[in-house]
Amino acid sequence: MDSFPSNFKHASILAWSLCAIMFTTCIHGSDSKIHCNEKDKQILLNFKNGAIDPSGLLSAWSSQQDCCHWYGVVCHNFTSRVTQLNLPCSFINGYGYNNFIDKSHCLSGDIPISLLQMEFLEHLDLSNHDYLAMTYDSMNSPSCHNLSLGNLHYQCENSSSLHYLDLSGNLNLLIHNLEWLSSAYSLKYIDLSGIDLRTETNWVQLMAMLPSLSELYLVDCHLDNMSPSLHFANFTALEVLDLSVNAIYSEVPNWLFNLTCDISYIYLDNNLLRGELPKAMPNFQVLKYLVLSNNDLNGPIPDCLGKLEHLTYLDLSSNLFSGPLPINLGNLSSLVALKARSNYFTGVVSEKHFTNLSNLKFLFVESPNIIFDFDLHWIPPFQLDGVFLGPVGPKPPQWLYTQTSLKSLGFANSKFSFETGDKFWSFVSKIELLQLVGNSIDGDLSNVLLNSSFIQLSSNNLKGGLPRLSSSVRVFMVDNNSLSGSMVPLLCHDMDRRSNLEYLDMSNNKLSGGLTDCWTNWKSLLHINLGNNDLSGKIPPSMGLLENRTSLHLHENNLSGDIPLSLQNCHSLLILNVRENRFSGSIPNWLPHKARALQLRSNQFTGSIPNWLPHKARALQLRSNQFTGTIPPQICQMHSLTILDFADNRISGHIPSCINNITAMVVHVRSVIAIGYIFYIDGTCYIIPENLMLLMKGKGLEYEDWNLIRIVDLSSNDLLGTIPAQMFSLTKLHSLNLSHNQLVGKIPKEIGNMRELESLDLSRNQLSGEIPESMSNLSFLSYLNLSFNNLTGKIPSGTQLQGFGALSYIGNLDLCGPPLTKSCSHDGIFGGTEPLDADDDDDDKSQFWSSFYMGMGVGFATCFWGVCAVIFFNRKWRHAYFRFLYDLRDQLYVMVVTKMNKLFK
């Protein structure tokens, strides 16, 4: 009974609450639509109107409808104010060979800063689109002022509700500074990864002003400054800091190790950090992840790392660390991953380093001068998922065979000696990923059956024949060895099940014989690389059965004949590389129109360059053949082309004036990003890049990011006429080679607009006129050749053009000034020199010398007739003059007679 009043009170409160909910429900139930705020609606409509929306993502956004029901918009149930704008762009990033990510369906244009004027907006996600800039619209954001945004200066006041901001993946978005973030002081999560922030130098101080910021992701933002001289940064809630994949060139800053917040995750990998790590890290007691890989950090590993008891992931790989690996790392009982590959460690690593690492799952320790010395009877306290060690040998460590859950295994810088039937090969047959890279392996693999899904045996000095593969193998790389013999044992043996092989790389070996005709058994193949071997004969018809193949590399062999008709069945072919063989005939008109790269250079192809070339191609390399005719104008319709190489042929005519229509050389192509072959093992993504050999700066190099390189090479042909002005609209070009042609005219001053040019070769033409001053603006230029033309005048002054040697300018007889020894001067009146001002006009110079020579003529005539007048009118002078002539005659007569007498004696 005593509890009755209390229960009654609680029941009353509950009843009133239910009534309130029912009342609210009745109000909103009468109209199922939530009427959004008119101001929010107008801001969103302006956002839509300013967006480029190729897929109609925002097509349902209509002024006639309630914005709370628009796609990606979330409103508050009671206030009807917009709280979320959730519009990430998804793109296919699937399994297998996915050479290009297509973002053509994503939003583009500009992001209006007026979005921050929605006072109740808490969540803003515009990630993975193709936005180019952030803009301010004064008509729709009247409360913004003092914000520095490019050339604009405003500040927004009404964005204090924003907690989550994700603009990542907009790879062409350039933000000049981040001061506009200071108004969003409630931000907890910021992800600007992939955005160009290189002009923002105060990002540390600006981010530190946000008191609630707990997660900050600035991956691949072109940052180069980390404020190393700043001692303190007032981050009060920061837990995650990710600054990986930037260009930060400094020592690890003091402020990072003086943080007073409980930071748990630090990612600084793939930068240019240098110097040593501090000997004390007192504020990192809750640190879980420390990733410092791929930098230039040096010195010893500090003992303080072994005192971070919560550390679970430590990655020190690919640095310049030296000295011994601290033994107290074995005290990190929470450690799951220890990665310390590719450093300069010395000393001995033994079981003492791993005493208490019972939770360890990944152990990657490899350095050329380290010594592994494990007790033969040691049983580790862990069961690993992955291990990579080196150098070890002549046998793998015995404790390795106690690991029953191993999924990946790798060795480097080791010397192994395997006998036929060695237990190592049966042990690794149960492992998904096997990496033996950069070892010296003694033993014949021709009788070994490999079973792992992912097998990389690159650069091991392997000899003998090829091993056999089971149907489980999906990736097989055995490149850069000395394997010899035929491919028949690998390709033509009977298999109990259908092969799953997708990626095959046997390049840079000594394989001989033909390509065999056993490709019927390997229909799952997507990538084939057999380049740089001694293969001969023709391409067999069965290669045309590989309908899903996306890349075929047969370069640098002795293959001959035509490109077979059967290859037209390979509708998915993106890359065809048959350079440096003996193929002949004309280019067949069925070559895949989806191709992204065609490398047909250094063969014996004849005829004209066809006008049906694949319009989506990114790389087109037809150099060193026997092509004739002109450059087809259809080349200008290949808007995605970044590599145009027709060098060393017999192409004539003019360079097409429409060449500036190749937009990939004018602006960055936003919708196509090469990434290569994708392979997943146990949730981990492995990417094998698609390399291409390109000629640039007079050298041939393998490029992984060839899709980012922009080259035009039309050298060693018979091209005529002037260089079209449109050529100099290709402002994203990295290399331009027009040498060894018959081009005439001047070098236009517009060449100074090609600010990203690194290599320029215009040698061996008939170009005339002066070198334009604007070429001094080409600050990235590292290779220049203007030799053997008809260029005149002074080489423009400035460190850029004077930094090249005289060989860059020789063969231009009227060119002068440093670095040439010929000075820009003319002989003076009295044997001295009269310097010429390079800035004087040609008309002024011509007028000066005309006056000078005219004066000399008048003076001579005056003197001559003056002497004649004196002789004519003065009798004594006249007689003296003739006596002088008679005496001169007599002297000459006597001298001649005397010489003649001596001659005939």
pLDDT tens digits, one per residue of 168-180: 999 889 898 898 8
Q: Is the pLDDT of residue 140 over 60?
A: no
Q: What is the pLDDT of residue 509?
A: 96
Please check whether residue 202 lies inside any domain of the structure: yes
Does 390 map to a domain? no
Spatial distance between the Cα atoms of 121 and 161, rounded to a whole number of angstroms: 6
Q: What are the residues facing 227 on neighbouring strands?
A: none
* pLDDT over 60 (residue 231): yes
pLDDT at 895: 59
Judge if pTM exceeds 0.85: no
Of 168, 197, 223, the one marking the end of a domain is 223
Confidence grade of residue 254 (pLDDT, cut at 50, 70, 90): confident
Average pLDDT value for residue range 499-525: 93
856 is a domain residue? yes
% of the chain surpassing 90 pLDDT: 54
Range in 80-94, 134-148, 171-185, 629-643 with the lowest mean pLDDT: 134-148
List own/partner pairs for 187-190 with CB under 8 A and 24 or more apart.
187/162, 187/163, 187/212, 187/213, 188/163, 188/164, 188/212, 188/213, 188/214, 188/215, 188/237, 189/163, 189/164, 189/165, 189/214, 189/215, 190/165, 190/215, 190/216, 190/217
> Is 198 domain-assigned?
yes
Label residue 538 by pLDDT band (50, 70, 90).
very high
Q: What is the pLDDT of residue 880?
A: 53
Q: Is 844 helix (H, G, I), strand (E, B) or coil?
A: helix
pLDDT, residue 513, reads 95
Instruction: Examine the pLDDT at 841 and tell me if it is beyond 80.
Output: no
- How many residues comprise the chain? 905
Structural domain includes residue 88: yes
Whether residue 387 is predicted with pLDDT greater than 60 in this model: the reply is yes
pLDDT of 831 reads 36
Q: Do residues 289 and 313 touch, judged by C-beta distance below 8 A? A: yes
For tokens 């190592």, the residue is 424
What are the DSSP calls for 64-85, one per residue? TS-GGGSTTEEE-TTT--EEEE
Q: Tell me, what's the pLDDT at 855?
A: 54
Q: How many Å separate Cα 512 from the centre of its chain?
A: 35
| H or E element that contains 826 | strand 825-827
**Spatial distance between the Cα atoms of 432 and 686, rounded to a whole number of angstroms:** 13
Q: Determine the pLDDT at residue 901.
A: 52
pLDDT of residue 166: 97
CA separation for the pair 815, 806 (Å, rounded): 11
Q: What is the pLDDT of residue 19?
A: 42
128 found inside a domain: yes
Mean pLDDT over residues 542-546, rounded?
Answer: 87
The CATH number given to whatever domain includes residue 189 is 3.80.10.10
> Distance between CA atoms of 459 and 563, rounded to whole angstroms?
31
* pLDDT number for residue 615: 75
Is the pLDDT at 504 greater than 80? The verdict is yes
What proportion of the chain, given as a percentage, has pLDDT over 70?
82
Question: Which residue range(s) make up the domain with 101?
Answer: 37-223
Mean pLDDT of the region 140-154? 39
Q: How many CB atoms lie within 10 A of CB 70?
A: 21
Per-residue pLDDT band for 155 (boundaries 50, 70, 90) equals very low
Give dist(CA 331, CA 338) in Å, integer: 12
618-673 pLDDT tens trace = 888 999 999 999 998 888 888 888 899 999 999 999 999 999 998 888 875 544 45
Confidence at 100, pLDDT banded by 50, 70, 90: low
Give pLDDT, residue 840: 44
Confidence band, pLDDT 50/70/90 cuts, at residue 484: very high
Which ranges in 102-223 belong to alpha helices (H)? 203-208
Q: Which of 726-740, 804-818, 885-899 has the lowest mean pLDDT?
A: 885-899
Helix (H, G, I), strand (E, B) or coil at 51: strand
Q: With 90 as the cut, is the pLDDT of residue 550 above it?
A: no
Say what the pLDDT of residue 308 is. Answer: 93
> What is the mean pLDDT of the segment spanning 478-501?
89
pLDDT of residue 898: 52
Domain count, the chain: 2
What's residue 143's pLDDT? 43
- Position 138 confidence tier, pLDDT thresholds 50, 70, 90: very low
Say whether pLDDT at 872 is over 60. no
Two structure tokens written together for 243: 């600054």
Output the pLDDT for position 889. Answer: 53
Q: How confident is the model at residue 890 (pLDDT cuts 50, 70, 90)?
A: low
Per-residue pLDDT of 698-723, as tens digits, reads 788 888 778 778 999 999 999 999 99
| Cβ–Cβ under 8 Å, residues 434 and 411 | no
Q: What are the tokens at 234?
A: 């007032």
Question: What is the band of 134 on the pLDDT scale with cuts at 50, 70, 90?
Answer: confident
Three-state DSSP class for 812? coil
CA distance 131 to 129: 6
Dist. CA 388–CA 315, nearest whole Å? 13
Beta pairing, strands 100-102 & 672-674: antiparallel
Lowest-confidence segment of 92-96, 459-463, 464-468 by average pLDDT: 92-96
Query: Token pair of 353, please?
Result: 């380093």
As a whole number, the mean pLDDT across the chain is: 83
Q: pLDDT class for 139, splitting at 50, 70, 90?
A: very low
pLDDT tens sequence across 1-27? 444 344 433 444 344 444 443 433 333
* pLDDT range class, residue 299, cuts 50, 70, 90: very high
- Whether residue 713 lies inside any domain: the answer is no
Nearest-10 crossing angle of helices 875-904, 842-873 = 100
Question: Is a pLDDT exceeding 60 seen at residue 388?
Answer: yes
Q: Is residue 875 part of a domain?
A: yes
24-28, 277-281, 850-854: range with lowest mean pLDDT = 24-28
Average pLDDT over residues 218-229: 89
Instruction: Identify the band that residue 241 occupies on the pLDDT scale cut at 50, 70 and 90.
Output: very high
